Amino acid sequence: MSERKVLNKYYPPDFDPAKIPKLKLPKDRQYVVRLMAPFNMRCKTCGEYIYKGKKFNARKETVQNEVYLGLPIFRFYIKCTRCLAEITFKTDPENTDYTMEHGATRNFQAEKLLEEEEKRMQKEREEEELNNPMKVLENRTKDSKLEMEVLENLQELKELNQRQANVDFEAMLQQYKEYEEERKRREQEEDEQEMKAMLEQAQNRRLLPDSDSDEEPSKPRSEPAVKARPTDILQEGRRPQLGWSSGRGTPSPSASPGLQPPLQHNLGPPAIDSAAWDGLSFASPRSVLETGRTKERFQSLVCKAGIIPTIGAPCTAAL
């Protein structure tokens, strides 16, 4: 099976390319192209305005016997949108523009015409000076004379403005000098004040440690007294418990004879007196709570002292 996209084709041995007939086309052949109007124009037939950028289906051809530096010049044919009159224009590679040829007039080209006129005059002057040295001297004299006249006119205009304005330039300069002097003096005073403030601040910082050393040592702050609650005795690590003697009589103190009475709380009940506190002793919480008799005696003693009221029963138990 042959290849679908063939790159090389078969040429028979008796193939002669000179026998292939050539396509003869006229040199002024026209092509249909799509273009936009390169400038604003007005139709000469009906006066319709055609603005720059309007699209046309134009015919294009190469201008015969017109070349600029080897570049061909093209001509375009369009029709007026109102009267269908034929309008032609061609390229201008010398000025990188288009030139109007027939059927319409170009608008807004006064600046272009002025530039063309200046270029033409400059070119004529250069051609005259090229072969005539006296013409060069004459043109230079005219130019210098014209420059002197311009300067004189400018000076007259300045003097006229000065007379009409009535402005005293000396007074303005004097006022400006006074303003500059006042500004410099004000800046110098501000700098001096700022320097004095910085020196005073540095001196105060230097004297601050010495003044602190002369003062009396500060007294330690007394921490606020913690308010004692009635249940603080039972929540501490070492709880005051009753230590009882082996007999059934009056309880005797044991373990810590030098125990001091606790601080008075703020909830109302008075502190334990010394007589009631003598009956308290320190023992382990486990030993106190093991026997119900010891617990009852402890509660009755504490109720009698007025520290912890028993819950659910009045303080009537006796020792």
The number of CA neighbours under 13 Å toward the Cβ of 301 is 25
* Residue 80 marked in a binding site: yes
Distance of CA 261 to the CA centre of its chain: 73
Q: Other C-beta atoms within 10 Å of 62: how many?
A: 15
User: Cβ neighbours of residue 60 under 8 Å, at least 6 residues apart?
Assistant: 30, 31, 32, 33, 74, 75, 76, 77
Which residue, chain included where needed, has tokens 């269908």? 84
Which CB contacts under 8 angstroms, 24+ apart, belong to 28-34?
A: 28/61, 28/62, 28/64, 29/61, 30/59, 30/60, 30/61, 30/77, 31/59, 31/60, 31/61, 32/57, 32/58, 32/59, 32/60, 33/57, 33/58, 33/59, 33/60, 33/76, 34/58
- Asked if 103 and 43 touch (Cβ cutoff 8 Å), the reply is yes
Which residue, chain included where needed, has tokens 């300069």? 173
* Residue 43 marked in a binding site: yes
- Asked if 242 and 256 touch (Cβ cutoff 8 Å), the reply is no
**SS3 (DSSP) at 92:** strand
268 closest CA partner among 234, 236, 299, 307: 307
- Asked if 251 and 267 touch (Cβ cutoff 8 Å), the reply is no
* Residue 315 marked in a binding site: no
Q: Which residues are annotated as a binding site?
A: 43, 46, 80, 83
Q: Which residues are annotated as a binding site for Zn(2+)?
A: 43, 46, 80, 83
